[in-house]
Structure 1
Amino acid sequence: MKKSIFKLIFIVFLTICSCKTTQIEKTEPNSEPTKVEFTQFDLGAIDLPKLKRQVNDFESVFTVEQLEKLTLKIREFEKKTANQIAIVSIESIGKYTDFDKFAIDLSNYNGIGLKEKDIGLSIVFSKSLRKIRISTGIGTENILTDEICKQIIDQTIIPEFRNGDYYSGIEKGLTELIAKWK
């Protein structure tokens, strides 16, 4: 009996000694935005992320202040018109091979625009892939045609992107889209 108690104490001692402890250091709060990442494993079979807000910066292109400014601009516009806008920066299109198809499917999957009116617009871009697409709902494309969207991309957004200023490109493009959509 004494041997079994001794063995038990010895096993408990070994167990306690083999457990490692780590000390958590206190750090200052991070002023950088939390990088939201997902992989193809997080996306599942559909390969499309669920958008949670008006500006979804999966590629961490914008600062917190820039995200707030873009979000505020979109929310003010949505209150006045009921039109919906989403901005998405994306690092990868997963299993997709066509960026335009990805952008359209992403908008449809997330229901950008009211379902019965289909009055939505999404700006999907990738800094790393060097691609951009403005997708419009059926109710929107009567006003913001493919030609208008292409013109805004080519003449307003892309020149800013070439200078490395993604925020200015998106902000100026968004301003033009809103002005033409009213």
Structure 2
Amino acid sequence: MRLAYLITVLLILQSAIALAPEDAKIEYFVNDYAGLLTYDEISYIEPLLKEIYDSGNAEFAIVIVDTLEGHDIQGYSQIVADGNIGDPEKDNGLVLLISKEDRSYFFAVGRGLEPSLPDSVVGRVGRQYLVPNFKEGKYSQGIYCRQDLRISKKPRSYLLFHRWSRRHAFSRRLRRIRRSSASQR
């Protein structure tokens, strides 16, 4: 009886230690611990993320794990990102955590980026790009959103998702045109 109890405790401890969030370290811009991406896909995404880093405005890292092992994805991503990404003074780190088996993702946005990347924008990007591509098994396309992630030239905005910003700018122009035509009547 004691042996069975001891074996159970050891197995639980081993699985908790092996898959702890602290083990999923951010060493590169793309950290694929689940093997979802090919070397070519990683080599395509890395320069885009390095360009963001070189701008000095933000640091964006992608962490892909097999499973969260029952951890909360938000807490897991905060542990992974904590002190590992972004300038500590600016708090301008952005982490995209993807869990393959749990079929979930989470953007951890540093406080310095929240004015530029509010939850509404990040949520929209997830719904429009990540979810549809992930459902089809196109992880790399979902991650780089077909080159839609670009650095904004505006000083107030560190990052913008290119397609979203184009659509948003178009709708703002359309509203201005409608207002000006309504005021001329």
- Structure-2-length-normalised TM-score: 0.68
Distance 2:95 2:146 in 1: 12
**Bigger radius of gyration among the two:** 1
Does the 8 Å contact 2:26/2:84 carry over to 1? no
1:156 aligns with: 129
Q: Pick which of 46-55 and 148-157 moved more.
A: 46-55
3-state SS, counterpart of residue 131 of structure 2:
helix
Does the 8 Å contact 2:86/2:93 carry over to 1? yes
1:146 aligns with: 119
Deviation by residue 1:88-130 (Cα, 9 ceiling, x = unmatched): 1111224x5311111122111x421100110110110112110
Which 4+ residue blocks in structure 1 deviate beyond 4 angstroms? 177-180
Does the 8 Å contact 1:119/1:139 carry over to 2? yes
Does the 8 Å contact 1:103/1:124 carry over to 2? yes
State how 1:3-22 maps to structure 2 within 5 Å: none
3-state SS, counterpart of residue 81 of structure 1:
coil
Aligned residues: 141
Q: CA 1:131–1:64 in structure 2 vs 1: closer, same or farther (change >3 Å)? A: same
RMSD of aligned C-alpha atoms?
2.2
Tell me whether 1:81 sits opposite 2:62 in the alignment. no
The Cα of 1:59 is off from its aligned counterpart by: 0.5
Distance 1:100 1:174 in 2: 26
Pick one of 58, 67, 72 that aligns with 1:98.
72
Q: CA 1:143–1:174 in structure 2 vs 1: closer, same or farther (change >3 Å)? A: farther
Q: CA 1:178–1:156 in structure 2 vs 1: closer, same or farther (change >3 Å)? A: farther
Pick one of 123, 130, 137 that aligns with 2:103.
130
Pick one of 9, 21, 26 that aligns with 1:51.
26
Does the 8 Å contact 1:57/1:88 carry over to 2? yes
Does the 8 Å contact 2:24/2:65 carry over to 1? no
Distance 1:43 1:162 in 2: 25
Distance 1:173 1:120 in 2: 22
Q: CA 1:174–1:111 in structure 2 vs 1: closer, same or farther (change >3 Å)? A: farther
The Cα of 1:48 is off from its aligned counterpart by: 4.1
Tell me, which stretches of 5 or more residues in structure 1 are unaligned? 1-38
Does the 8 Å contact 1:87/1:124 carry over to 2? yes
Tell me whether 1:69 sits opposite 2:41 in the alignment. no
2:166 aligns with: none
1:107 aligns with: 81
Distance 2:132 2:117 in 1: 20
Distance 2:33 2:147 in 1: 18
Tell me, which stretches of 5 or more residues in structure 2 are unaligned? 1-14, 161-185
The Cα of 1:72 is off from its aligned counterpart by: 1.1
Percent pairwise identity: 24
The residue type paired with residue 73 of structure 2 is F
The residue type paired with residue 134 of structure 2 is F
